[in-house]
């Protein structure tokens, strides 16, 4: 994300080249943002393969329309990802890939390797699926991807105040879930 001026200038230069369909610039953008977009899908889809397939599709769409892209690039990238996710859910005919019943289960096999205070990635995925879409998004962007409130506000098209409120509600909900699960 554009965290400092140097980073912003660098991203701007790469974007300028990418908009002219420069292969190296597009490759750089893909390598930079692939993990972030992959994780966005990972927490929202059933399988790793689905997440990887959707992530690849995001960058195919980026190539298709980057010439006319304007505004914040990362926010735009997430908008593409959100639209693809909506299509993905629609095709499968349901909004939540992981049901509430699936959540209230014993810990994932791998989680025995972790301390009691430490969550396993699969546990967090299941917990996130109990939150609303917006709460899930603010948690993943803020605590997993380490974005600032300003960047999250841009991505979610909300005010910073609304992001803080969402953050509070999402953390409160997760705290209650953890209490319920005895973590």
Partner 1 sequence: MKKRIEELLDICLQKIKEGIPVEEILSQYPYYADELKELLATAKKIKDVPLPEPSNIGMASCLVRLGEALQLQKQKPRKARISRLLYFPFPAWAKALVFAVIIIFISWGTVTLSANSLPGDLLYPMKFMTEKVKFFLTANPGGKVELRLIYSEERMQELVRHLDKRRDLNTELLKAMLDEATLALEHISRLPDPAGPVYFSRLQYLNAYQKDVLENLKPKVTSPQQKEELENAIRLCGNRTQWMSRMRIKGVWPGKWGPHCDRR
Nearest to 133, CA basis, from 178, 74, 173, 93: 173
Q: Which residues of 27-48 are buried (b: 16+ CB within 10 A; e: fewer)?
A: ebbbeebeebbbbbbbbbbeee
Candidates 9, 47, 96, 168: give the one binding partner 1 (CB under 8 A). Answer: 168
Tokens 């990887």, located at residue? 52
Q: Is 32 a residue that touches partner 1 (CB under 8 A)?
A: no
By the rule CB under 8 A, 70 interacts with partner 1 = yes
CB 99 to partner 1: min, Å: 21
Residues 119, 130, 141, 153: which binds partner 1 (CB under 8 A)?
119
- Residue (1 or 55) nearer to partner 1, CB: 55
Binding-site member from 118, 132, 157, 159 for partner 1 (CB under 8 A): 118
Q: Nearest to residue 170, comparing CAs of 156, 101, 182, 106?
A: 156
Residue 141 φ/ψ, nearest 5 degrees: -70, -40
- Work out which of 17, 52, 79, 82 binds partner 1, going by CB under 8 A: 52
30 binds partner 1 (CB under 8 A): yes
Which residues are CB-neighbours of 38 under 8 A, at least 6 positions away? Answer: 51, 52, 55
Task: Determine the size of the site formed for partner 1 (CB under 8 A).
Answer: 46
Q: How many residues does the chain have?
A: 183
Please report, as ranges, the residues that interact with partner 1 according to CB under 8 A.
21, 23, 26-27, 30-31, 34-35, 38-39, 42, 48, 51-52, 55-57, 59-60, 62-64, 67-68, 70, 117-121, 123-124, 139, 143-144, 149, 164-165, 167-168, 171-172, 174-175, 178, 183
């Amino acid at each position: 994300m554009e965290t400092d001026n140097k980073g912003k200038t660098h991203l701007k230069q790469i974007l300028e080249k990418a908009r002219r369909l420069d292969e190296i610039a597009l490759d750089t953008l893909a390598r930079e943002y692939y993990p972030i977009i992959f994780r966005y899908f990972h927490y929202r889809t059933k399988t790793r393969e689905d997440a990887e397939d959707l992530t690849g599709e995001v960058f195919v769409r980026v190539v298709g329309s980057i010439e006319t892209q304007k505004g914040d690039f990362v926010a735009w990238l997430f908008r593409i990802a959100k639209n693809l996710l909506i299509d993905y859910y629609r095709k499968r005919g349901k909004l939540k890939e992981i049901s509430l019943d699936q959540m209230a289960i014993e810990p994932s096999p791998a989680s025995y390797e972790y301390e009691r205070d430490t969550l396993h990635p699969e546990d967090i995925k299941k917990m996130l699926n109990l939150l609303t879409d917006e709460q899930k998004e603010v948690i993943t962007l803020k605590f997993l991807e380490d974005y600032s409130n300003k960047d999250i506000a841009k991505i979610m098209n909300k005010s910073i105040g609304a992001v803080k409120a969402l953050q509070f509600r999402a953390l409160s909900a997760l705290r209650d879930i953890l209490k319920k699960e005895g973590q």
